[in-house]
């Protein structure tokens, strides 16, 4: 029996014709995140803040250091996009407090299930459906970890004739990606079959964040898996129960992501200063994760091995250290951030 979303999308396609990959991804993820907490060992995937408290603490220290060197403005807003279970925020806020920073907390989150989890950890947060309603009259301390990869991406497909929007059709009881009509694309001709991804939603959000930072002051830290240069290739993937699954099956039941194009995000960040992208491993080491891990291990010898293993998972090149990248935006009037040697 097809579930609700499969049936709804199949009907939609039968009635109106194939839908864009971006619409397919948007519908699938809205359903997926809206109906569950996908994080943790019992869920579908594990993120850096769920691996170790060190991740959120170092993010908090990074923000507190910038804030201090920017003259410690009395009012500041911590803004997190897609905060998951609120773990990163709770760890970062604790570290910020030790540094004398107690910002207002604003979460941009669409999932009711995850909002509930966030409320349990950070009860005094204010929730927003998108960034447009975040306060306009204070510096912003913005964090987004594994947020942009979940936003809907378009795929463009090259043929002998030019570029086509890649669409999703419903044929013989299955979703199938197909070439749609030719579209004008600002892209050089490419070999037939080449796929280029763009993320209009990500570009729009980064533009808005950059505009806000330029006007209000502050900084943003964006962490995600992806590539430093724009490239070609289909990176759409589905993850379920800690393994890869078919993205064209059971939309809404598995996490759909694409690799983040950091070059495109940099280009979208007009009017602000940029640092990075660097790798997550390098950034965490620059931020002192080795010392932090050693201190934690010393304070809790029984957990020393676990702490060191978590640190390795975050920084090792063959784990999260290389694939994940860190990009910082800041108001031109704010100081250079730490972590980008
Ligand atoms: N940052 C968290 C969770 C990553 S999962 C962590 O590192 O553990 C992606 C998060 O983004 C979830 O909280 C999900 O509900 C949220 N999200 C996905 N699409 C969104 C959208 N369009 N607007 C706001 N939040 C979104």
Q: How many residues does the chain have?
A: 341
Structure tokens at 293: 């891990």
Alpha helices per DSSP H over the chain: 4-16, 21-34, 48-51, 53-69, 87-98, 112-121, 200-216, 262-268, 280-286, 289-299, 304-315
Query: Which atom of ligand 1 is found nearest the CA of 39?
Result: 8
Task: Tell me the backbone φ, ψ of residue 240, rounded to 5 degrees.
Answer: -145, 135
Question: Residues 229, 230, 234, 236: is their CA dihedral positive or negative?
Answer: positive
Q: Are the C-beta atoms of residues 325 and 228 closer than 8 Å to each other?
A: yes
User: What is the pLDDT, as a whole number, of residue 2?
Assistant: 46
Candidate from 22, 106, 142, 147 with most ligand 1 atoms within 8 A of CB, to mutate: 147
In the DSSP assignment, the letter for residue 335 is: P
Q: Are the C-beta atoms of residues 33 and 25 closer than 8 Å to each other?
A: no
DSSP string, 90-154: HHHHHHHHHTT---EEEEE---HHHHHHHHHH-TT-EEESSGGGS-SSS-EEEEEES-GGGS--E
Ligand 1 center from residue 33 Cα (angstroms): 8
83 lines ligand 1 (CB under 6 A): yes
**Residue nearest ligand 1's atom 21 by CA:** 110
The helix (H) or strand (E) run that includes residue 157 is strand 154-158
Residue 108: closest CA among 186, 185, 201, 28: 201
- Whole-model pTM: value is 0.97
Residue 131: closest CA among 140, 120, 118, 123: 140
257 lines ligand 1 (CB under 6 A): no
167 lines ligand 1 (CB under 6 A): no
80 lines ligand 1 (CB under 6 A): no
324 lines ligand 1 (CB under 6 A): no
Q: For residue 183, how many other CB atoms are within 10 A of its CB? A: 12
Q: For residue 300, how many other CB atoms are within 10 A of its CB? A: 11
In the DSSP assignment, the letter for residue 45 is: B
The helix (H) or strand (E) run that includes residue 168 is strand 163-171
109 lines ligand 1 (CB under 6 A): yes
Q: How far apart are CA 330 and CA 140, in angstroms?
A: 10
Structure tokens at 223: 């962490």
Please state at what angle helix 112-121 crosses helix 21-34, rounded to 10 degrees: 50
Apex 58 CA angle, 265 and 108, nearest 5: 50
User: What is the pLDDT, as a whole number, of residue 257?
Assistant: 98
Distances 182 to 12, 63, 154, 275 between C-alpha atoms, Å: 22, 46, 14, 37
Looking up tokens 């759909």 gives 256
User: What is the pLDDT, as a whole number, of residue 273?
Assistant: 98
150 lines ligand 1 (CB under 6 A): yes
Structure tokens at 239: 């993850």
Candidate from 22, 35, 44, 84 with most ligand 1 atoms within 8 A of CB, to mutate: 84
Candidate from 82, 87, 121, 256 with most ligand 1 atoms within 8 A of CB, to mutate: 82
Q: Are the C-beta atoms of residues 209 and 131 closer than 8 Å to each other?
A: yes
53 lines ligand 1 (CB under 6 A): no
Residue 289: closest CA among 266, 276, 308: 308
84 lines ligand 1 (CB under 6 A): yes
| 156 DSSP β-pair partners | 165, 196
pLDDT tens digit at each of 341 positions of the chain: 346 899 999 999 999 999 999 999 999 999 999 999 999 989 999 999 999 999 999 999 999 999 999 999 999 999 999 999 999 999 999 999 999 999 999 999 999 999 999 999 999 999 999 999 999 999 999 999 999 999 999 999 999 999 999 999 999 999 999 999 999 988 999 999 999 999 999 999 999 999 999 999 999 999 999 999 999 999 999 999 999 999 999 999 999 999 999 999 999 999 999 999 999 999 999 999 999 999 999 999 999 999 999 999 999 999 999 999 999 999 999 999 999 98
């Amino acid at each position: 029996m097809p579930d609700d979303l499969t049936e709804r999308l199949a009907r939609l396609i039968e009635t109106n014709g194939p839908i864009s990959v971006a619409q397919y991804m948007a519908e699938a993820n809205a359903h997926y995140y809206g109906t569950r907490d996908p994080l943790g060992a019992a869920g579908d995937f594990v993120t850096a803040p769920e691996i170790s408290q060190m991740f959120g603490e170092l993010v908090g220290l990074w923000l507190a250091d910038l804030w201090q060197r920017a003259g410690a403005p009395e009012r500041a807003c911590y803004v997190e996009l897609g905060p998951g279970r609120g773990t990163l925020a709770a760890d970062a806020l604790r570290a910020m407090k030790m540094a004398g920073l107690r910002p207002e907390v604003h979460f941009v989150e669409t999932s009711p299930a995850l909002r509930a989890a966030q409320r349990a950890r950070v009860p005094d947060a204010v929730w927003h459906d998108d960034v447009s309603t975040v306060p306009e009259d204070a510096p912003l301390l913005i964090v987004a970890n594994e947020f942009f990869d979940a936003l809907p991406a378009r795929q463009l497909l090259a043929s002998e004739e030019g570029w086509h929007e890649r669409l999703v059709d419903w044929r013989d009881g299955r979703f199938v990606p197909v070439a749609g009509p030719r579209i004008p694309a600002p892209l050089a001709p490419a070999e037939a079959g080449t796929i280029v991804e763009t993320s209009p939603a990500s570009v729009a959000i980064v533009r808005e964040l950059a505009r806000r930072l330029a006007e209000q002051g502050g900084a943003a830290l964006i962490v995600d898996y992806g590539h430093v240069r724009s490239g070609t290739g289909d990176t759409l993937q589905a993850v379920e129960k800690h393994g890869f699954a078919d993205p064209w099956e059971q939309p809404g039941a598995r996490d759909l992501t694409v690799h983040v194009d950091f070059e495109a995000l940099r280009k979208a960040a007009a009017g602000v200063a940029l640092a990075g992208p660097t790798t997550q491993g390098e950034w965490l080491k620059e931020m002192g994760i080795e010392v932090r891990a050693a201190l934690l291990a010393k304070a809790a010898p029984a957990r020393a091995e676990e702490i060191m293993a978590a640190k390795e998972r975050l920084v090792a090149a063959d784990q999260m250290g290389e694939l994940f990248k860190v990009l910082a935006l800041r108001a031109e009037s704010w100081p250079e951030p730490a972590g980008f040697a």
